[in-house]
Structure 1
Amino acid sequence: MTQAPEIIGYLAATLTTASFLPQAILTIKTKDTESLSLGMYSSFTLGVLCWLIYGIYLGDKAIIFANAITLLLASSILFFKIYNLVQKKKHKKTYTR
């Protein structure tokens, strides 16, 4: 029988990952990252990676599940943020010459 802490862990993992989905879907769909902070998403993605490693170390399936999915989504957003910044700098250099 599953214990209450395990159920709470899976519920927390599901809710926190699901709460991240709307921003991830919107960003992936529109590729608009202008209002997103590079520092915030960089540290968030690194933090999620650390949580994933921690979950693997503990063998905690709830932590692994939630953070693997969140890492994929956060990495996608971070990729678009960096890509858009690089494109903006290239565009700016082209028009300032």
Structure 2
Amino acid sequence: MEILGLIAAILTTVSFLPQVIQVVKTKNTKSISLGMYLMFVLGVVLWAIYGFLMKDRPVFIANLITFCLSFIILIYKLKEVKDIKKD
């Protein structure tokens, strides 16, 4: 059963790469909701903690990597919000 979790984890985690690449390349996060993304990143962190505490490697590793990728997008979004307020 663990292999099923690993495959699911790989697919859902890798699915973030195109979005991260696009955001880094264009620096455009206008269409991303800050509130939703903050909740998403917090949810991913909580899933990673859960996976760690439950000793569930697929859940822990997938959410740790997803956190890293989604955090990059969150940084760009926060920078965009800060720049808009500055203008």
Alignment TM-score, normalising by the size of structure 2: 0.94
1:71 aligns with 2:67: yes
Tell me the matched-pair count. 87
Counterpart position of 2:19 = 23
Deviations 1:58-77 (Å, cap 9, x if unpaired)?
11111111111100111111
* Unaligned 5+ runs, structure 2: none
What is the DSSP-based 3-state SS (H/G/I as helix, E as strand, rest coil) of the residue aligned with 1:33? Answer: coil
Counterpart position of 1:88 = 84
* Unaligned 5+ runs, structure 1: 92-97
Counterpart position of 1:95 = none
Alignment TM-score, normalising by the size of structure 1: 0.85
Matches of 1:67 and 1:15, distance apart in 2:
12
Counterpart position of 1:55 = 51
RMSD: 0.9
Deviations 1:42-89 (Å, cap 9, x if unpaired)?
110000000000011011111111111100111111111011111111
Work out which of the two has the higher radius of gyration on C-alpha atoms and give 1 or 2: 1
**Partner amino acid for 2:51?**
G
Percent of aligned positions with the same letter in both sequences? 49
